Amino acid sequence: MSDTITLTIPKQKSIALIAHDGKKPELIKWCKDNAETLKKHFLCGTGTTARMITDATNLPVRGYNSGPLGGDQQIGAKIVEGKINFVVFFSDPLTAAPHDPDVKALMRIAQVYDIPFANNKATADFLLHSSFMDEEYDHDVINFKQNIAQRAETLPNE
């Protein structure tokens, strides 16, 4: 059994849109500027951000809970389920967030599942305008079932 498996990010991406409070206006403007591209994809986001983007752009954005109320964790769970495969998160590096551990967990899970994660406008611009946005993308990730089986074998049996 292989140590990795190949997953495919489809042509129509499932993009999570998230922003800390101080970055919401910047993300909304970015969504307006890129609405023609974004409307080709499924969009979701944390509660307040999702609502504000929909209100300002008319793009349909499915809202989860707000970040401090577990929205970041919900998005992370959807990444694990394979239902979100791209994240745009305009984080504010100059303001402390009470849910910072959740944000770090979200970033970590995006790394584990090897999905695109933009944490600022420049990165989001580069990713959105990449040729990969218009095609499927195969990527290798850890073979989770094999990893679990191997870990179970190495742990003491009580």
Is 140 tagged catalytic? no
Of 137, 30, 133, 16, the residue nearest 76 (C-alpha): 16
Is 154 known to sit in a ligand binding site?
no
Query: Is 46 labelled a binding residue?
Result: yes
Question: Annotated binding residue at 49?
Answer: yes
Q: Confirm whether residue 24 is marked as ligand binding.
A: yes
Q: Is there a binding annotation on residue 63?
A: no
Closest CA to 59 of 100, 112, 15, 113: 15
Among the options 3, 33, 72, 134, which is catalytic? 72
**Which residue in 17, 10, 43, 8 sits closest to 124, CA to CA?**
17
Contact call for residues 19 and 154 (beta carbons, < 8 A): no
22 labelled as ligand-binding?
A: no
Residue 99 is assigned to a ligand binding site: yes
CA–CA distance, 89 with 49 (Å, rounded to integer): 10
Q: Which residues are annotated as a binding site?
A: 20, 24, 46-49, 66-67, 99
Known catalytic residues are 72
Q: Which residues are annotated as a binding site for substrate?
A: 20, 24, 46-49, 66-67, 99
